[in-house]
Amino acid sequence: MARIARLPDIVANKISAGEVVQRPASVVKELLENSIDAGADKITVAIKDAGKELIRIVDNGAGMLREDALLCVERFATSKITGVEDLDTLKTLGFRGEALASISSVSHFELKTRTAKETLGLRFRYEGGVLAEESGVQGEQGTTITVRNLFYNVPARRKFLKSNATEFNHIFEVVKSLALAYPEIEWRMYSDDEELFHFRTPDILERLNVFYGDDFSASMIEISEENDYLSIRGFLGKPAMQKRRKLDQYFFINRRVIQNRMLSQAVQQAYGDLLVERQAPFVLLFLGIDASRVDVNVHPSKLEIKFDDERSVRNMFYPVIKRAIQLHDFSPDLSVSDADTSFALPHQESAFRKLSFQDVPHRSTTTGDLYRNYREGAFHDTAGSRFTGLQQEDIFSSRPSLDSEPERKRPQGDEGLSSILLSPVYEDDIVPNPKEVEPKIWQLHNKYLICQIKTGLMIIDQHVAHERVLYERAVDVMNQNVPNSQQLLFPQKVEFRAWEYEIFEEIREDLDRLGFNLRLFGNKTIMIEGVPQDVKPGTEVTILQDMIAEYQENASKLKLEKRDNLAKSYSCRNAIMAGQKLSLEEMRTLIDNLFATREPYSCPHGRPVIIKLSLDQLDRMFGRK
């Protein structure tokens, strides 16, 4: 008897569902693509319990006759292609004929449809991929698909779904990307019976403002280029709009939402030095190219694509983005808000308060050999310098200048070098130490701290160092319930998007323990009445919104305990950034606080904080050994 047997269709459909239907957002994506392919100009999306309980897609597309309606839930049944050659000229979003079969096999599935010529519509109800009921029904032209209890018969898959906030965010991103890709379609979305948006006009800028806030579209760079090979149109964000995530980068190839590393890297390189570390520009770009030059049949999700000549695409794409950025005036607009003119505070706190690390009861410290090496470096003089005991100012001021020696002839071509060597460079580049007993510290390019230690020098990344300090403080404050809130003189209002409010509800209690004093103020709106002591004045709203975005990103990529995730999000978003100039006292405080932490050598995300370079290593580099 043969050991190999053909799998029953119901089993094959469930296996296929594991690739096509990864989560509720996958269902929404597949159904919306079918609605668009059916020619719909009105689409409504309704979900409950982040898609786990209900997903309903209503469109006014062409509809289906009975024969087509029965076939559409069969595997490899599609109206989009008829032969392999059609894959080279695809003009539809769907084409494989697997989606509906996969979805119906792992849910309670209902399909209602009516064509323009029929007076009565059809209704089909499936349970686990098996037709359970067929009947006639009244209804408008188009198709309505209802998916209930997703993965009810695949408990292992349902168990691995993320929180409602995470799953909702994935669904919202799918709908948002398609609403931006097809502005001619009237889109409406509901979540748990609450309307999130309703777009009646084809104005894409209006949609951007709804998704990202009022006047967002006013901060966009519009581009439009076209040749015989490639067309590029869309919008780029100004540097001031940059985020630390790439979720807000949308690339469409022939209006298909895609992910492509080459395009992302080309945009990143085009912005160049305008980007701050780990930030990414907003991108909404539509690329048009001959369908035969693109392969979309790469992955079941249909997000990945391959170009037949990726180098040519890049050589045309990159200069267009680079030129648009170079020709644009990035100087900031200077505006004064009503709040700025109405209330003049007598004293503005310096950034130094942000570096403070108030004592937390029972907090353990780490002051090992490296910290002692750093403190003792101020007293150590291995070379027996003749300037011992002098301040740096004395060294520079006691050195004669070339101008005071007219009899000395300056060599041709050395004027620049001489002026650099004999000028008081500390005025711009090096902060002099006022006390010889204090360790010597310099800030390099407003990014790294260079410190003299007994055995050589150490280099500290100021951003990740402060991130480590803030992270451990946040963990201790939440775990030990230490008072940490500082009341605001003028409360700040924050209006959340739907997915942001879901996350806020999820972490609200721990935000309070961390020091955020928040009060509900209407629908998806809160008032910030107090913040942790480390939050810099004027950044309260931005910090809270960025924390929620960081928390969401961590939750989707990493398996973190909720409080640990919040501490990492808080520290990452609130830490001083590369490019921020620090005073000498701020640098000293930051280093002292760093060595008061439990793990001063790496940031909460695992990046190194400190690099050491010994005198022995320096001697070898200069050929002394």
* Of the candidates 433, 443, 454, the residue with the CA atom closest to the CA atom of residue 371: 454
Q: Which long-range contacts (CB under 8 A, 24 or more apart) does 291-297 make?
A: 291/88, 291/89, 291/90, 291/91, 291/254, 292/88, 292/89, 294/253, 294/254, 295/87, 296/90, 296/253, 296/256, 296/258, 297/87, 297/95, 297/96
* Of the candidates 159, 445, 490, 92, the residue with the CA atom closest to the CA atom of residue 297: 92
Residue 295, CA atoms < 13 Å, CB-side half-sphere = 9
Predicted local confidence at residue 379, as pLDDT: 55
Whether 39 and 133 share a structural domain: yes
Asked whether the beta carbons of 251 and 285 are under 8 A apart, the reply is: yes
Whether 27 and 165 share a structural domain: yes
Instruction: Give the span between the Cα atoms of 89 and 287, in whole angstroms.
Output: 16
Kindly report the three-state secondary structure assignment for every residue of 490-544: EEEEEECCHHHHHHHHHHHHHHHHHCCEEEECCCCEEEEEEEECCCCCCCHHHHH
Q: Is residue 499 part of a domain?
A: yes
Q: What is the CATH number of the domain that holds 254?
A: 3.30.230.10
What sign does the CA torsion over 248, 35, 196, 48 have?
A: negative
Predicted local confidence at residue 300, as pLDDT: 61
Q: Is residue 393 part of a domain?
A: no
Q: Is residue 355 part of a domain?
A: no
Q: Is residue 409 part of a domain?
A: no
Question: Could you please report the per-residue DSSP string of 576-625?
Answer: PPTT----HHHHHHHHHHHTTSS-TTB-TTS-B-EEEEEHHHHHHHTT--
Domains held by the chain: number: 3
Q: Is residue 412 part of a domain?
A: no
Whether 187 and 221 share a structural domain: no
Instruction: Give the span between the Cα atoms of 185 and 178, in whole angstroms.
Output: 10
Q: What is the CATH number of the domain that holds 370?
A: 3.30.1540.20
Q: Is residue 421 part of a domain?
A: no
Q: Is residue 4 part of a domain?
A: no
Whether 46 and 188 share a structural domain: yes
Q: Is residue 546 part of a domain?
A: yes
Predicted local confidence at residue 529, as pLDDT: 93
Whether 26 and 80 share a structural domain: yes
Predicted local confidence at residue 334, as pLDDT: 40
> Are β-strands 448-453 and 441-444 bridged in parallel, bridged antiparallel, or unpaired?
antiparallel
DSSP 8-state class, residue 34: H
Whether 268 and 195 share a structural domain: no
Answer with the one of 265, 299, 326 that is the final residue of a domain. Answer: 326
**pLDDT tens, residue by residue, 427-437:** 334 444 444 56
Asked whether the beta carbons of 543 and 505 are under 8 A apart, the reply is: no
**pLDDT tens, residue by residue, 184-230:** 999 999 999 999 999 999 999 999 999 988 878 888 889 999 998 99
Read off the tokens for 615: 């005198």
Stretches in the chain below the pLDDT threshold 70: 1, 7, 9-19, 76, 79-91, 94-97, 239-247, 273-278, 297-302, 329-369, 376-437, 558-559, 625
What strand order describes the sheet that includes 448-453? 441-444, 448-453, 456-461, 610-614
Whether 557 and 604 share a structural domain: yes
Whether 68 and 194 share a structural domain: yes
What does each C-alpha distance from 517 to 45, 106, 478, 485, 488 come to in angstroms? Answer: 35, 44, 14, 7, 9
Asked whether the beta carbons of 313 and 289 are under 8 A apart, the reply is: yes
Predicted local confidence at residue 35, as pLDDT: 95
Q: Which residues span the domain enclosing 292?
A: 217-326
Residue 250 belongs to what H/E stretch? strand 249-253
Whether 196 and 82 share a structural domain: yes
Whether 497 and 542 share a structural domain: yes
Whether 156 and 250 share a structural domain: no
Q: What phi, psi does 55 have (nearest 5°)?
A: -135, 125
Whether 370 and 489 share a structural domain: yes
Instruction: Give the span between the Cα atoms of 579 and 279, in whole angstroms.
Output: 13
Instruction: Give the span between the Cα atoms of 223 and 317, in whole angstroms.
Output: 12
Instruction: Give the span between the Cα atoms of 285 and 288, in whole angstroms.
Output: 10
